[in-house]
A and B are shown apart, each in its own frame.
Chain A
Amino acid sequence: MSTFDALRGQLLDAAEAFSGGGDVLAGILSGMVDDVDRMLREELEIFPVCHHSPASALAMTRRLRDKRPKVVYLELCEDMRPLLDELRNCRLPVALQAFATQLDGFPAGSGPLSVIAPVTEASAEYQAIAYALDTPGVEIVLVDRSVDHVFQWLPQETDGPDPHEQAAQGDEAALHSDDVALHGDAVGVEIGDLRPRFAELEKHLLHHGKVRHWSEWWDQYVEQPLTGADYDTYRQAMALIGSLFRRLRPDGHGRLAVDEERERYMWTRIREHLAESGADPADCLYVCGAFHAVSTVAEFGLRSEAPPYTIAPRTGTRWLHGLIPSSHSAIEAQFGLAQGSVSIAAATWAKAVRRGGVTPYRLEGQQGGRAKQGGKRGGSAAPPVAAEPAADRLSGFLAAPPALDGLDEDELRGWCVDIVRLARRNGYLASTADAIAVFETSILLAGLRGRARPTPYDFADAAVTCIEKDAVPGRRDVRRLCEILLGGDKIGMVGYDALPPLARDVYDRLEPLGLDLTRRTQQRVLLDLRADPELEPCSDLLWTLRHLLPDGALRPIMGARRLGERPIQESWDVALGRHQREIVELGYEGVTVEQVLEQRLRRMAWDPQATAGAALAAVEDAILYVGGRRLPGELGACAVELLAAERTVDDAPEVLRRIRRLLTYYRASEPELPAWCEDFVTAGYSHYCTLLPTAFADDETGVRQVGAMLGFLFTLESLALSLGCDRAQLELAVRQSHPRDPAKVALLWAAQTQLGLLTREELRARCDELLANPLVVPAYPLYVSGFVQALEPVPGLAPFVVEALSKAFARLPDPVLLPWLPTLICTLRQHAPELVPVLVREAGRTFPGALAELDAWTPPWERPAAPVRAARAAAAPSGPVSTLLARHPGACDAVAVLLGCTAEWGSTGHGNGEVAALLDRHPATTGAVAALLGA
């Protein structure tokens, strides 16, 4: 005969009455009682808990004081055990974190993997941890599956929609603070996850409970009745709820399979530990979620006769563990709880503790919160209570309405006064009359909702009704103020000693700045590097951290770090306190910031997807943040390999920009170029020469890319030739190029002009021909676009580009010109730094400066004198020969006439180019004449 026979009979009668003898309802109801019964009969004492439940925490404290167990088994990932000792160095709430970047056994690309388990002070698990760690001779054993298994089982678990996650996503828009992002994208695990497993059940409970969300339901129907309940009632009621949710669940949901696996895992671990340590099960306590307390797996119980369960091996993934700060709002967001519910739970816990009757456990040296209260030793050393068969407490609990506390007028009055004060501070015109109205309305609302005393939720509704008017005057509305009042968001902080070495190193090295890095505000710091050169390492570290941490952690206000520049003053906005998690996670990657940076840069360069441009970017970062020659050299060598292996030229503009910048830097700061730079230029020269004909012909390759290739070949030519490259290769490549695209044709013409294969006049003639041919005119803008792109590789072509553009504007018909103009402007705007200055300078030189001069102005390309002046510019070298010839032009004139040249002699004494060339070629005549004259 069992303790619950009477209750079972009652429930079966009820099932009969409601469903007319249906088996299902009867099965569920009697099954629930059986579950509770089974849990109570288990030899190892099972303590069912629910997350963020002050009632659980209170019951836990009381039970620990009464029972004083020697071993506590806790439903928490077993590999997180070492972290528990570090909890005392932190200000709660913090989250235990496991982190892995080097994956082995998980799909590539799914990393980094991260699991967090938040710990708040108002939780049963913290009580158990604090008791176990600070009581000599007590052992705490984490028995849940390892973090590795969390991910191994994850695909199975997520094969069905989770109602709460959906709810959480729905609420996401309503979340107002960036603090909710404290956990990043980690997977959350929690002790005692207790919630209906499908949305309809939850909706039903909320609807009939006349409450708005799950936290409120829980608070009203479970939390409050159980807060003052004795241990047996607590245990039986929790187990009953766990059983209810276990039995009412959608079939075929992968989540239950995972839960059952976990239960097998936990019981196996418990049995193993008992066997190893030889502990007496009567001295042990197993703390797990109420859902697991009524498990139906065969492995349940110490006397289970199920075949041994084999625990699947972990993968080869290397897990790193640490603590990260957490916050109430982050926990709410992660686990789909109502906004403010964790804060309210914390406030309820604080109130229950204040009311006395129980002294909570607290880790010695725990940061934050109140001072230690009596602590573990302060508790009465009551002898362990002998286990008695539990009586049926469920019948009473289920039959009577929840026995709530009477109206706590003082508390409510305090809230009312405080909310008015807070509202006034936030710009509301609230007065004492409002406090009275809030008080009255809270009580009326509670009455209307059938509660003996107003819950915090009633109070918040009342405050909104009475104080909120048509507009919110400040940043926060009354609902948010209520949340702040009822505990507010609490943000944890990981203490210095619990930080990984890297984070501690960062804190140490930033100490000279005199910042309080634990503050969550943004702090401004000014570094005068000339006056305090000893701050330079700090500056270096700040720049490195800025490179590694997400935006917002550090922001330079003044000063910039570019190649070859060092600011003498810097000013920073530092918000490292708010980004402690990111620093802690950096700590998983290495021991110092520099090491992490080096690893990341190497990863960037050696990535299978890396391009030469990315590798050059890594080189630049290495020079800026790491310094020295070793790392930039290695990365540069990698860039050379990448460039040589590249089959496309998509990256060419980036490569050109970066290598130019690096070459300028090395020329300015080093006595000679590093070897990798030379290799890069020679490799690039031959690489781009090889690819040039293909790039010209290939439709996929853009004009910009080909332009950049030519830019590389022409602007770095002198360096490449000095390093042993052969110009013939380039000439051959240009000759082999036969583009079809008009823009590329123009580019090719520009290249040929640069190489001397095409004269300016021929080029002009070709363009004029295009303009004259009505069939080609529509394509003319494309040619001009090509010429514009040629400005970069062939800057000498600028006058011609101005000419081509002017002609286009002058002669193209509007239907062709106007649609093209936006394209031109967009191109110029996109590549403004390289193209626009050249073009503007040249245009300034060509066009008249004032409007008045415009009438008399003729474009240089239409001036007849222009060719002569151009010829004169190429003057022959001056010397005794020129002087002599200039003085006695007769002979030369005669020779010229003989040779058929009509060019005239200049009067300035500068020789004509052609004549000089002629004389150079046949020096004998001049020599003879000179000898005759006796010069």
Chain B
Amino acid sequence: MTNEMLRAPAEVKYAEELDWLESVDDGPKPFSWRLSPRMVRLFVLGSERSDGLDREIPQKWFGDRSFVERSIVTLASDRGLLLIGDPGTGKSWLAELLSAAICRDSTLVVQGTAGTTEDHIKYSWNVSMVIAKGQSRESMIPSPIMTAMEQGMIGRFEELTRATSDVQDALISILSEKYVSIPELDTDNTVFAKPGFSIIATANSRDRGVNDLSSALKRRFNFVRIPVVTSKASEAEIVRFRTIELLRRHRIELDVPPALLDILLQSFADLRTAAASATSEDEKLESALSTAEQIGVLEDAILHSHFFGDRTLRAETLAGALVGSLARRAPEDLAILNKYWHGVVEPRSRNDGGEWTRFLDGGRQAISTLS
């Protein structure tokens, strides 16, 4: 099944692992959870020898243990979970892993956009069926959230702050009363949430102020803030993990030389430092320089080398991909990258040589093409 999907959801991808965990899980499980909280944590953060399991469970989300623990207990409690953080910090991935582990279905997702309406959260009608048979439960199309309520599962709401405030507020009654009424129906007009229902929402901290959550809704969510990974070691780990996955997905056999990975991490670290010390928005790259962005750059470079190159990842290609994905605003971002290339990469290539020199050339070329 995995082979027929471009990207399999976590519960499909890790189905075998989840089955095994369920079979050995003897801890108490809240509500209708498929795994106990400890096993959920183990699934997300990976196992160690001291856990005494017969097989190794790989780590899937990289970050502080306490974030995962706090998220799990929130889902076991009465409140919804809101993961908040900069773009690319792994919020949605954590949400997906948690729902896959808890209820084996991470696809009950509502994507928040400016066009999201209350119907997307509650229910809508199959118009032709309504005309044919009238309004009934059959002609009703439940939203993913309502489905989650009916089945006692985890519903996900991506980018909650992109949806307008009145739409967001539809969640208030769902989270506090735990039922949705369908006034159009005379009978069977209330959908009650089954035990185990909860909501994981994600919000982008860069969107603050666009559609702020009302305090009533804030109260019903526990906030877990996911910071940008700044530790180089764990960042390298994440990039490596995700890249292997991508390569497997594209069925590409290509080595990522550690020296290039180092260059990528180092340049992101440098650019982050520069962004932190910038005084105005114009001196900052528009990109949040998150780990996901790094993975994107690497993916670009890998695909480019695979299809248009000689199937070897080269520093020039990496530099081109980096410039290509970070230069978003025409004069500002290019100017910053240009400054970075001349002020930081050039001396480094003089001192360290090797891949840095090729990285320098590739970047220069990419910048001059774009300018």
Residue positions of A touching B, CB distance < 8 A: 207-208, 210, 212, 429, 431, 433-434, 437, 440-441, 444-445, 447-450, 461-462, 464-466, 468-471
How many A-B residue pairs have C-beta atoms within 8 angstroms? Tell me.
66
Distance A445 CA – B38 CA, assembled complex (angstroms)? 10
A440 engages B78 (CB within 8 Å): yes
Q: In the complex, what distance in Å separates the CA atom of A533 from the CA atom of B363?
A: 76
Majority DSSP secondary structure for residues of B touching A: helix
B77 within 8 A of A: yes
A469 touches B73 (CB 8 A): no
| Interface assignment of B368: CB less than 8 Å from any CB of chain A | no
Selected from B65, B72, B223, the residue in CB contact (under 8 A) with A469 is B223
Flag if A465 contacts B50 (CB, 8 Å): no
Q: How far does the alpha carbon of A440 sit from the alpha carbon of B75 in the complex, in Å?
A: 12
Compute how far the CA of A444 lies from the CA of B37 in the bound complex, rounded to whole angstroms.
Answer: 9
9 A-B contact pairs sorted by A residue (CB < 8 Å): A210-B65, A441-B73, A441-B222, A461-B70, A464-B70, A465-B224, A468-B223, A470-B84, A470-B213
A288 to B131, CA, bound (A): 87
Taking a contact as CB atoms under 8 Å apart, the answer to whether A470 and B223 are in contact is: yes
Give Cα distance in the complex from A434 to B65, angstroms: 23
Q: A448: which of B38, B208, B218, B219 is its contact (CB, 8 Å)?
A: B38
A466 to B77: give the CA distance in the assembly, Å.
10
Q: Residue among A440, A448, A462 with the most chain B CB within 10 A?
A: A448
Are B69 and A431 within 8 A (Cβ)?
A: no
Which chain B residues lie closer than 8 Å to A449 at the CB level? 69
Give Cα A320–Cα B356 distance, bound, in whole angstroms: 59
Cα distance, A466 to B65, chains bound together (Å): 17
Q: Provide the bound-state CA to CA distance between A447 and B37, in Å.
A: 9
The residue that B50 contacts in the complex, of A208, A429, A444, with Cβ under 8 A, is: A208
Main SS class of interface, A: helix
Known: A429-B215, A429-B218. A437 touches B70 (CB 8 A): no
Q: A208-B50, A210-B65, A437-B77 are in contact. Are A445 and B219 (CB under 8 A)?
A: no
> Which residues B175-228 have CB closer than 8 A to chain A?
203, 205, 208, 213, 215, 218-219, 222-225
Please, how many angstroms separate the alpha-carbon atoms of A210 and B51 in the complex? 11
Query: In the complex, how many angstroms separate the beta carbon of B206 from the nearest chain A beta carbon?
Result: 12
How would residues 49 to 87 of chain B score, 1 for a CB under 8 Å from any chain A CB and 0 otherwise?
010000000000000011001101110111100001000
CB distance from B288 to the nearest CB of A (A): 16
- B210 to chain A: closest CB distance in Å? 12
Q: Is B162 positioned at the interface, with any CB of A under 8 Å from its CB? A: no
Give chain B residues whose Cβ lies under 8 Å from the Cβ of A461.
Answer: 66, 69-70
CB atoms of A466 and B222 under 8 A apart = yes
C-alpha spacing A469/B70, complex, angstroms: 14
Which among A429, A437, A461, A469 has the greatest number of chain B C-beta atoms within 10 A? A469
Residue of B50, B73, B74 most packed against chain A (CB within 10 A)? B73
Chain A residues with Cβ below 8 Å from B48 are 207-208
User: Is the C-beta of B41 less than 8 angstroms from some C-beta in chain A?
Assistant: yes
- Smallest CB gap from A204: residue in B: B50
Could you tell me the distance between the alpha carbons of A210 and B41 in the complex, rounded to whole angstroms?
12
- The 5 A-B residue pairs with the shortest CB-CB distance in the complex, in nearest-first order: A444-B73, A465-B70, A448-B37, A465-B222, A469-B218
B335: min CB distance to chain A, Å? 26
The answer to whether B70 touches A445, judged by C-beta atoms less than 8 angstroms apart, is: yes
- Closest chain B CB from A441 CB (angstroms): 5
A474 to chain B, nearest CB (A): 16
Roughly how many angstroms separate A431 CA and B79 CA in the complex, as a whole number?
14
Chain B residues closer than 8 Å to A434, beta-carbon distance: 219
Cα-based distance from A207 to B74 in the complex (angstroms) = 23
New A-B pairs, 4, CB < 8 Å, besides A437-B77, A465-B222, A469-B218? A441-B77, A445-B73, A465-B74, A471-B208
Partner of A466, one of B38, B72, B79: B79
By a CB distance below 8 angstroms, the chain B residues around A440 are 77-78
Contact A445-B69, Cβ < 8 Å, known A468-B223, A470-B205, A470-B223: yes
Contact yes or no, A448 B205, CB < 8 A: no
Closest to A447 in B: B37
Give B198 Cβ to nearest chain A Cβ, in Å.
13
Complex interface: chain A residues within 8 A of B37 (CB): 444, 447-448
B70 in contact with A431 (CB, 8 Å): no
With both chains docked as a complex, state the minimum distance between the C-beta of A796 and any C-beta of chain B, in angstroms: 48
CB pair B219 A429 closer than 8 Å: yes
Q: How far is the CB of A427 from the nearest CB of chain B, in Å?
A: 12
Which residue in chain A gives the minimum CB-CB distance to B74? A465
CB-based nearest B residue for A440: B77
With a CB–CB cut-off of 8 A, which chain B residues contact A464?
Answer: 70
B42 CB, min distance to chain A CBs, angstroms: 11
Bound: A462/B77 CA distance, A: 11
Distance from A472 Cβ to chain B, minimum over Cβ atoms (Å): 11
Contact indicator per residue, chain B 27-43, by CB within 8 Å of chain A (1) or not (0):
00000000001100100
Question: In the complex, what residues of A have CB within 8 A of residue B41's CB?
Answer: 448
CB pair A448 B215 closer than 8 Å: no
Contact of A212 among B66, B74, B78 (CB under 8 A): B66
CA distance A742 to B50 in the complex (A): 80
Instruction: Identify the closest chain A residue to B36 (Cβ).
Output: A448
Give chain A residues whose Cβ lies under 8 Å from the Cβ of B69: 445, 448-449, 461
Binary interface encoding of chain B residues 98-114 relative to chain A, with 1 for a CB under 8 A from any of its CBs, else 0? 00000000000000000
Closest to B224 in A: A465
CB distance from A446 to the nearest CB of B (A): 9
How many angstroms between the C-alpha atoms of A208 and B49 in the bound complex?
A: 10
Q: Are A448 and B84 neighbours in the complex by a CB distance under 8 Å? A: no
Bound-state CA distance A431–B77 (Å) is 17
> What A residues does B222 contact at CB under 8 A?
437, 441, 465-466
Q: Which residues of A contact B50 (CB under 8 A)?
A: 208
Complex Cα gap A434–B41 (Å): 24
Q: For B79, what are the chain A residues with a Cβ–Cβ distance below 8 Å?
A: 437, 466
Closest to B71 in A: A465
Question: Which of B37, B48, B69, B225 has the largest number of chain A CB atoms within 10 A?
Answer: B69
Q: What's the minimum C-beta distance from A468 to chain B, rounded to whole angstroms?
A: 6
Tell me how far the C-beta of B45 lies from the nearest C-beta in chain A, rounded to whole angstroms.
11
In chain B, what residue has the closest Cβ to A444? B73
Partner of B76, one of A212, A431, A444: A444
A362 to B218, CA, bound (A): 48
The answer to whether A433 touches B219, judged by C-beta atoms less than 8 angstroms apart, is yes
**8 Å CB contacts to A: which residues of B216-246?**
218-219, 222-225
Are B73 and A448 closer than 8 Å at their CB atoms?
Answer: yes
Chain A neighbourhood of B72, CB < 8 A: 448
Expressed in whole angstroms, the Cα–Cα distance for A29 and B72 within the complex equals 38
Which of A433, A447, A462 is the most central at the interface, judged by chain B CB atoms within 10 Å of its CB?
Answer: A447
| B76 to chain A: closest residue by CB | A444
Complex-state Cα separation, A413 to B320, whole angstroms = 58
**Cβ-closest chain B residue relative to A448:** B37
Most chain B beta carbons < 10 A, residue from A429, A431, A445, A468: A445
Query: In the docked arrangement, what's the CA distance between A473 and B170, Å?
Result: 26
CB closest chain-B residue, reference A443:
B73
Specify which chain B residues have a CB less than 8 angstroms from the CB of A441 in the assembled complex. 70, 73-74, 77, 222
